[in-house]
């Protein structure tokens, strides 16, 4: 399939991609449009084109295989189907290391939503070729600054229920929640959502104290927002370890609902772009057993 088109930057913070020509099986039609979040030269996140899909399409600028020890923070972006967000024995974010000399990979820390470290985990040896690190059951697509997109479940291609997508960022100190203040565009997933797709575009504003308000975007082209909102509190920087921030999410439209706990990984000034990337996994404020994800990028 070959697709050509144009793009424009919208005030909503998204890119709009419009097809001008296409050929090949199942090619899109001329005039079809898609929307994406972008950090130039680093990461490109495509919103699902199928309105019924709950799968984002992440892409990164291809990096090379590491020649020295690799250390990264990771966070679950797309969880395995049926994962229980209230399970205290389940890890949702943590740290990763890879030693190219021994081809040994490990997870030194694995955190649940109570910020409890569930202990280290050694992984089977891996191999790397042209920036793709292959481990048993997983492919890691490496960036040129120590980040990665990880696809778990590749050893069972006929069973999508065990697929997971994980983002990895180079370990970097946040320092202070005030460093995250600003306006963001993002994509959110709420496993408790009962109507429409679980993934939806959002506009988020964070103040110097880490108090963020997010609203759904009804029309990405015009940046028309809903009246409904969620309140996200990013409370403790570099917790439970360097490069993470923890907090809560509250659905202001559901009075009395239990706030969901969040664990987020942060990349400040990604690739010198002036843009921050924040990727959070947490509990849905409507049902703490369901997964809530939000990825937001500075406008």
Is 62 among the domain residues? no
Q: Which residue has the tokens 């797709």?
A: 197
CATH of residue 278's domain is 2.40.128
**248 and 202 belong to one structural domain:** yes
Phi, psi angles (nearest 5°) of residue 162: -100, 10
pLDDT digits (tens, 9 = 90+) for 14-35: 999 999 999 998 888 899 998 9
Number of domains in the chain: 3
Q: Would you state the pLDDT for residue 58?
A: 80
Note whether 186 and 287 are same-domain residues. yes
pLDDT band at 235, cuts 50/70/90?
very high
Assess if residue 61 is contained within a domain.
Answer: no
Residue 84 lies in a domain: yes
Model pLDDT, residue 137: 77
pLDDT at 67: 86
Q: What is the pLDDT of residue 177?
A: 97
Q: What is the mean pLDDT of the chain?
A: 87
Average pLDDT on 263-268 reads 95
* Residue 246 pLDDT greater than 90, yes or no: yes
Report percent pLDDT > 70 for the chain: 91
Look at residue 184 in the predicted model and tell me its pLDDT.
Answer: 98
More confident position, 196 or 107: 107
| Nearest-angstrom CA–CA distance, 134 and 250 | 38
Say whether pLDDT at 233 is over 80: yes
C-alpha distance from residue 151 to each of 59, 143, 209 (Å): 12, 14, 34
| pLDDT exceeds cutoff 70 at 51 | no
How confident is the model over 164-181, as pLDDT tens digits? 788 888 899 999 999 999
Tell me if 48 sits within 8 A of 55, measured CB to CB: yes
- 237 and 144 share a domain? no
Task: Note down the domain range covering 224.
Answer: 179-298
Q: Strand, coil or helix: what is 179?
A: helix
For residues 17 and 74, membership in a common domain is answered with no
pLDDT at site 47: 82
Residues 6+ positions from 92 with CB-CB distance below 8 Å: 75, 76, 79, 85, 111, 112, 113, 263, 281
Would you say residue 289 lies in a domain?
yes
28 domain residue, yes or no: yes
pLDDT of residue 12: 96
In the chain, % of residues over pLDDT 90:
52
The answer to whether residue 16 sits within a structural domain is yes
User: Is there a single domain that holds both residue 165 and residue 206?
Assistant: no
Longest dimension (CA), the chain: 54
Q: Are residues 228 and 125 in the same domain?
A: no
Confidence band, pLDDT 50/70/90 cuts, at residue 243: very high
pLDDT bucket at 272, cuts 50 / 70 / 90 = confident
Q: What is the tens place of the pLDDT at every residue in 64-122?
A: 888 888 899 999 987 666 789 999 999 999 999 988 888 888 999 999 999 999 999 98
Nearest C-alpha neighbor of 53 from the set 176, 189, 147, 204: 189
**Cβ-based burial of 250 (10 A; exposed 0-12, middle 13-18, buried ≥19):** middle
CA–CA distances in Å: residue 254 to residues 135, 194, 208, 251: 42, 14, 26, 6
The answer, yes or no, to whether residue 159 has pLDDT greater than 80, is: no
E-assigned strand segments in 157-223 = 164-170, 182-190, 199-206, 211-219
User: What pLDDT score does 282 carry?
Assistant: 95
Closest CA to 230 of 274, 280, 298, 165: 280
């Amino acid at each position: 399939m070959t697709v050509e088109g144009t793009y424009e930057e919208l005030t909503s913070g998204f890119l709009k991609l419009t097809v001008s020509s296409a050929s090949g099986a199942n090619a899109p039609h001329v005039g079809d449009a898609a929307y994406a979040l972008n950090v130039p030269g680093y990461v490109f996140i495509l919103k699902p084109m199928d309105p019924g899909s709950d799968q984002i399409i992440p892409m990164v600028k291809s990096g090379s295989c590491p020649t020295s020890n690799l250390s990264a923070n990771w966070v679950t972006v797309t969880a395995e189907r049926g994962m229980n967000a209230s399970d205290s024995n389940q890890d949702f974010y943590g740290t990763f290391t890879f030693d190219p000399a021994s081809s040994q990979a490990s997870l030194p820390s694995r955190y649940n939503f109570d910020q409890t470290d569930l202990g280290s985990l050694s992984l089977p040896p891996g191999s790397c070729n042209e920036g793709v690190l292959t481990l048993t059951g997983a492919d890691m697509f490496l960036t040129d600054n120590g980040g990665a997109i990880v696809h778990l479940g590749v050893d069972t291609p006929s069973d999508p229920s065990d697929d997971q997508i994980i983002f990895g960022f180079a370990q970097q100190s946040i320092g202070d929640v005030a460093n995250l203040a600003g306006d963001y565009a993002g994509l959110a997933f709420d496993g408790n959502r009962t109507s429409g797709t679980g993934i939806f575009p959002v506009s988020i504003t964070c103040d110097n104290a880490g108090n963020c308000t997010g609203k759904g975007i009804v029309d990405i082209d015009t940046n028309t927002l809903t009246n409904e909102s969620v309140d996200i509190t990013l409370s403790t920087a570099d917790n439970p370890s360097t490069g993470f921030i923890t907090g809560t999410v509250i659905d202001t439209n559901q009075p009395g609902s239990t706030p969901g706990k969040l664990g987020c990984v942060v990349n400040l000034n990604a690739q010198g772009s002036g843009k921050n990337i924040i990727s959070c996994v947490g509990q849905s404020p409507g049902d703490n057993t369901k997964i809530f994800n939000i990825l937001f990028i500075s406008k």
